[in-house]
Structure 1
């Protein structure tokens, strides 16, 4: 039987993906597998697949970001996809948006330990931030259905800003269900990006909605 994937030893090729920040990616994985489980942010059954299902799945979306982006990561929770993306695109700035105090405390601890100068923590709900924040990109993973996300995130998107929602196999169905809300909010029609890599068994599906 094949040995379970260890969170301390990423699959072959993963370190090259993160380049000079590979060590920080490993340290983040260690946090997820230890304090992340202890604090209830990651289920114990997820530990064997932290890299393939969570860290790398998030990191692949980096090709949709630009170095100058100001990114809001909605419902950041355990820092997914925000922290892997911040490691992949160090020239972009990231706000990890999370309303729950325990998760905010954990994110603060991890970001401080990793020394991520391009990351800040915002405690709150994105739908309450319209008067205080504006982003060129907003990311979300396992937060809400797309039709809800567009309602929440449209007010904090800058002109030409885009919502990048990491979705599963129901991505196209969610796009259809969100079409009416997208038109009402005068956003561009949703586009599905399927990002593949030999490092992951399942491609990363990202639904992009742009505010013209």
Structure 2
């Protein structure tokens, strides 16, 4: 954990408090352990474009935690599509140990990293799937499907429609409000809610769009 500093620990505590997210001691420790693994593996595996560890608390951990209230209000079986380095799926799995999270990515290096995180952090509620989203068929529809900087909304909806049903919430984490992408949303999807996310330490706009499928 030499790569994670006391400053990172304090920034995580203060940022979570500003978000209104309560962290237990074990959750705080797990999030920092995840950060340490992300910093270590990123040097060789290029998991994230954020190269500076001092930016990772706000841009990865706190950004992921910003959707905690919206995940809390939804169901128990979640899919993180195009999970990459594990955002937001791993922080959410740490925050909701009683819920099941599936992290899907088509990049083998990234899924190897995610599997390593699962084992090292002992996240029993986490499943890692190495697959293209179009070729993935779960046993049952997910109650929630989230993505962070994965694709345009039209593609997000089209590629994942077979993974949910009328009860599913689709959570798309975006930067600026994607007005053009909303215009191209498939006819059987509708915008259920939009939330402005205030992420401590993050410059620029952050938005969460919640979609529903009409069936």
Q: For this structure pair, what is the TM-score category when the shorter chain's length is used for normalisation?
A: 0.7 to 0.9
Equivalent residue number for residue 23 of structure 2? 19
Runs of at least 5 residues in structure 1 that lack an aligned partner in the other structure: none
Within a 5 Å distance, the mapping from 1:1-212 to structure 2 comes to 8-11=8-11, 12-14=13-15, 17=21, 19-20=23-24, 21-43=27-49, 45-66=51-72, 68-130=75-137, 132-178=139-185, 181=186, 183=187, 186-196=188-198, 198=200, 200-202=202-204, 204-212=206-214
Moved over 6 A (4+): none
Residue deviations 1:55-74 (CA, integer Å, cap 9, x gap): 11111111111374200100
Looking at structure 2, the residues matched to 198 and 98 of structure 1 have their Cα atoms a distance apart, in angstroms, of 28
TM-score by length of 2: 0.83
Looking at structure 2, the residues matched to 131 and 91 of structure 1 have their Cα atoms a distance apart, in angstroms, of 19
TM-score by length of 1: 0.84
CA RMSD of aligned residues (A): 2.4
Mark the CA change 1:198 to 1:56 in structure 2 (over 3 Å): closer, same or farther: closer
Aligned residue pairs total: 203
Residue deviations 1:41-82 (CA, integer Å, cap 9, x gap): 123634221011111111111111137420010011100111
Mark the CA change 1:68 to 1:189 in structure 2 (over 3 Å): closer, same or farther: closer
